[in-house]
Chains A and B, each alone.
Chain A
Amino acid sequence: MLLEASELRKSFGGVVAVDGASFEVAEGSITGLIGPNGAGKTTAFNLISGFLRADAGAVRFAGSRIERWRGDRIARAGLVRVFQTPRVLTKMTVLENVMLAAKNQLGEGLFLALAAHARVAKREREVRERALATIETLGLTHLVDAFAGTLSGGQRKLVELGRALMAEPRMILLDEPMAGVAPVLAEQLLDHIRKLRVEHGVTMLVIEHDMDVVMTISDRIIVMDEGRVIADGLPDEIQRNERVIEAYLGRLDSKAAEA
């Protein structure tokens, strides 16, 4: 297992958002994380990616215990997050946005910039090449010099995905990739997600409300409700799981029905 979360717990004031959730993600898989509103999915993402610290529980990524690590350290270890609302820098171009996310950039210190000018320039060329290749993979070559602020919601998501790829991740956490994406681009985005797994071996954990999408792209599905994991299985098992159906549609044996 590439990622293992065990007995994760997090509350905000009196509200328990994640209540002892345990789950695993196999290397090379696309795993869906679903659950009704308020199930604790995004909080679970925040705990795994180091945006929030768990009150209790453990997270293991590629063999290391990461639950006390800061977000940037987790990202450098290869676990990268893509947000529901793209965080592109609107006044920079697509290329600049993607280049920014590269690992191990030189030239940030004045000393290096002056003393090792050639090395910095070379490294920058490499980053540029790689960014252009990534942009091409995502089918955004025609928009390389466009300001990110002029892009559609779906295109911004692709840029955000490109930035995640520049960090050469082993695993990507995708928070609602399909939200706010026009249907035409949604298909493309899905293809990219599949391709990343096949061609780059990137493992993905995906929160997605569009059930047709999540059931189609996922190898396995983890279902959360009220902060706990209530089911874990193959998509068609999940679709038939009575506990899952209950979480989404409510209980069948309501007392009110008998009255």
Chain B
Amino acid sequence: MTGNVLTVSGLHAGYGDEDILHDVAIDVPRGAIVAIIGPNGSGKSTLLKTIYGLVRTRKGAVVLHAADGATTDLVNMRPSAITALGLNIVPQIANVFPDLSVRENLEIGATPIRNRFDAQFAKVSAALPLLRGMLSKRAATLSGGQRQMLAVGRALMSDPRLLILDEPSAGLAPKVQDKVFEMVKDVNALGVSVLMVEQRARQCLAVAEYGYVLEQGRNRLEGRAGDLLVNPEVIRLYLGRGSRAAAAPRE
């Protein structure tokens, strides 16, 4: 009994013949917000997609822990089966059905728990109250921030224990980004564990308890979010180590 909701270990995965992830390991403690950050191309999104069964795992384990302590290895399970087990994802793009109403989007999200729509919506809208006022709107007419709220709401309608967010602040104006990070905390307050990937590393770490830094598909650093926030090595990973002055002369 580890107290984790998710344990990823020794994960190798990629596209075509090429591995993107090399021996990646992460834990998500029950009830926590865990951040995964790292520069472009570090494998953050691939990691999320692999956990959710959208990218084939070549080696390693992705273990989801149920409330009663039972464990399931999600490797090579279909995404729909993974959702039914209590893990859902909010993709970075194409995360709502634009031609459907907000309510219809939420109903689709509730597919695994169809007969409990009202009870689940009551729970979800406690964290995302603004959804109540926009149920009849077409998703295409929502603002960027509202749309992201709907995407999160849709995923929450399946009653997940763990919610995975792929760059929830991407493409949003700075003020709206702040709202998104606040929303993540509200969602977490419902008792849902959160694993999120973010480009805006510092805002993400500010709401997370723990963070992992990936670089080129490998675990590079990890620690309490507050420690990572002030760790100069994190900045070096993003902006490079060497500079011309520091580089060894070469002929």
Task: List chain A positions with a Cβ less than 8 A from chain B.
Answer: 36-37, 191, 209-219, 234-236, 238-239, 244-246, 248-252, 254-257, 259
In the docked arrangement, what's the CA distance between A215 and B184, Å? 35
In the complex, how many angstroms separate the beta carbon of B61 from the nearest chain A beta carbon? 29
Across-interface contacts of B206 in A (CB, < 8 A): 252, 254, 256-257
Across-interface contacts of B240 in A (CB, < 8 A): 210-216, 235, 239
In the docked arrangement, what's the CA distance between A209 and B39, Å? 9
Across-interface contacts of B202 in A (CB, < 8 A): 246, 249-252, 254
Across-interface contacts of A252 in B (CB, < 8 A): 202, 206, 229
Residue of A nearest to B180 (CB): A256
In the complex, how many angstroms separate the beta carbon of A26 from the nearest chain B beta carbon? 14
Indicate if the CB atoms of A256 and B247 lie closer than 8 Å. no
In the docked arrangement, what's the CA distance between A250 and B234, Å? 12
User: Can you add 20 more A-B contacts, CB < 8 Å, to A211-B238, A257-B203?
Assistant: A209-B40, A211-B39, A211-B241, A215-B240, A215-B243, A216-B240, A216-B242, A219-B244, A234-B243, A248-B39, A248-B238, A249-B200, A249-B234, A250-B199, A250-B201, A251-B203, A254-B202, A254-B207, A256-B181, A256-B203
In the docked arrangement, what's the CA distance between A37 and B170, Å? 10
In the docked arrangement, what's the CA distance between A244 and B239, Å? 9
Across-interface contacts of B229 in A (CB, < 8 A): 252
Compute the total of residue contacts between A and B using a CB distance below 8 Å: 99
Indicate if the CB atoms of A250 and B244 lie closer than 8 Å. no
Residue of A nearest to B204 (CB): A250
B245 CB contact (under 8 Å) in A191, A235, A249:
A235
Indicate if the CB atoms of A236 and B246 lie closer than 8 Å. yes
- List residues 91-113 of chain B with CB under 8 A from any CB of chain A: none
Residue of B nearest to A218 (CB): B244
Indicate if the CB atoms of B239 and A256 lie closer than 8 Å. no
Pull 23 A–B residue pairs with CB atoms less than 8 Å apart, ordered by A. A191-B250, A213-B240, A214-B240, A215-B240, A216-B247, A219-B244, A234-B244, A235-B243, A239-B235, A239-B236, A239-B239, A244-B239, A245-B235, A245-B239, A248-B39, A250-B201, A251-B174, A251-B200, A254-B181, A254-B202, A254-B206, A256-B178, A256-B182
In the complex, how many angstroms separate the beta carbon of B249 from the nearest chain A beta carbon? 12
- Contact flag A217-B178 (CB < 8 Å), given A252-B229, A256-B207, A257-B206: no
In the complex, how many angstroms separate the beta carbon of A235 from the nearest chain B beta carbon? 4
In the docked arrangement, what's the CA distance between A215 and B245, Å? 9
Residue of A nearest to B200 (CB): A250
Indicate if the CB atoms of B244 and A215 lie closer than 8 Å. yes
B182 CB contact (under 8 Å) in A217, A244, A255:
A255
Indicate if the CB atoms of A249 and B201 lie closer than 8 Å. yes
In the docked arrangement, what's the CA distance between A239 and B229, Å? 16
Contact with A along B137-177 (1 / 0, CB 8 A): 00000000000000000000000000000000000001000
Across-interface contacts of B56 in A (CB, < 8 A): none
Contact with A along B178-214 (1 / 0, CB 8 A): 1001101100000000000011111110110000000
In the complex, how many angstroms separate the beta carbon of A199 from the nearest chain B beta carbon? 13
